């Protein structure tokens, strides 16, 4: 029986992984199509694709060296584009940083909202995946701390980026509130736990393991 139970858990885990990967691919494709369509209204379609490719590598470069320590030359090298070509797409480093931040956060939040809305999966799994996309993947020595570089430069962010944390919390509240009348309180508490674990853990696995304990406790413990 123990073996059968273990095999069942493995099959369920594999199914969850496949579902998450399929969701990520679908969302990425949809997001890229929407981005290219939106940009094609103001720039040629070929430039829209190049612009998106630059954005997807630029924020990692900012995260490694900080905003002040990052040059347009470094971004051009990372994106495999010439310096004149980079300035053709973006007028300044500030404009590039602002758009890259909005691009990455919008992509993340679109993915998070889709993950949380997948009612076919257990709520605890969806909540864990949402936090992993929002914060967990930035935990560990090899991770790029994109949230940190964004927090250090709030004056460079647009409205999309400044309201991203509120959008994440709202999506979390909606998902949890479908199962508990204490959804808002649980969402805020898990947000605080996640922030604490980012500073207390030194690996991605440790962050996820400890956050899962908190999620299970808060979602299953009856409240007066």
Which sequence spans correspond to the domains of the chain? 16-220
Residue 203 region, left (φ>0) first, then alpha (ψ -120 to 50), else beta? beta
Q: DSSP characters for 5-68?
A: HHHHHHHHHHHHHHHHHHHHHHHHHHHHHHHHHHHTTTS-HHHHHHHHHHHHHHHHHHHHHHHH
Residue among 142, 66, 158 nearest 105 (CA): 158
What local confidence, expressed as pLDDT, does residue 15 receive? 46
The C-alpha atoms of residue 96 and residue 53 are separated, in whole angstroms, by 12
Q: What is the pLDDT of residue 222?
A: 62
Segment (H or E) for 192:
helix 183-200
Q: Quick one: CATH architecture of 16-220?
A: Orthogonal Bundle (1.10)
Residues 6+ apart with CB under 8 A from 163: none
Give the model confidence (pLDDT) of 37-62 as tens digits.
444 444 445 577 889 889 988 988 99
Which residues make Cβ contacts (< 8 Å) with residue 67, sequence separation at least 6?
Answer: 93, 97, 149, 152, 153, 156
Distance CA 62, CA 77 (A): 13
In a 10 Å sphere around its CB, with 0-12 CB exposed, 13-18 middle and 19+ buried, how is residue 46 labelled? exposed
Nearest C-alpha neighbor of 53 from the set 84, 16, 9, 90: 90
Write down the pTM of the prediction.
0.77
pLDDT score recorded for residue 142: 67
pLDDT of residue 48: 79
How far is it, in rounded angstroms, from Cα 24 to Cα 11? Answer: 20
Q: Which residue stretches of the chain have pLDDT < 50? A: 1-21, 25, 31-32, 35-44
pLDDT of residue 178: 93
């Amino acid at each position: 029986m123990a073996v059968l139970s273990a095999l069942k858990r493995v099959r369920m885990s594999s199914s969850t992984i496949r579902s998450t990967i399929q969701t990520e691919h679908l969302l990425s494709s949809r997001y890229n199509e929407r981005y290219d369509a939106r940009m094609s209204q103001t720039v040629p379609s070929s430039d829209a694709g190049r612009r998106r490719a630059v954005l997807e590598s630029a924020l990692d470069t900012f995260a490694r060296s900080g905003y002040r320590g990052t040059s347009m030359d470094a971004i051009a090298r990372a994106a495999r584009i010439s310096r004149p070509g980079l300035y053709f797409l973006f007028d300044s480093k500030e404009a590039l940083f602002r758009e890259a931040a909005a691009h990455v956060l919008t992509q993340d939040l679109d993915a998070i909202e889709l993950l949380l809305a997948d009612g076919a999966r257990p709520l605890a799994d969806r909540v864990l995946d949402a936090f992993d996309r929002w914060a967990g993947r930035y935990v560990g020595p090899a991770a790029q701390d994109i949230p940190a570089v964004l927090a250090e430069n709030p004056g460079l962010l647009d409205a999309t980026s400044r309201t991203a944390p509120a959008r994440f919390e709202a999506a979390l509240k909606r998902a949890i509130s479908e199962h508990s009348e204490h959804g808002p309180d649980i969402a805020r508490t898990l947000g605080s736990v996640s922030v604490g674990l980012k500073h207390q853990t030194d690996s991605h696995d440790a962050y996820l393991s400890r956050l899962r304990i908190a999620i299970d406790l808060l979602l299953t413990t009856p409240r007066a």
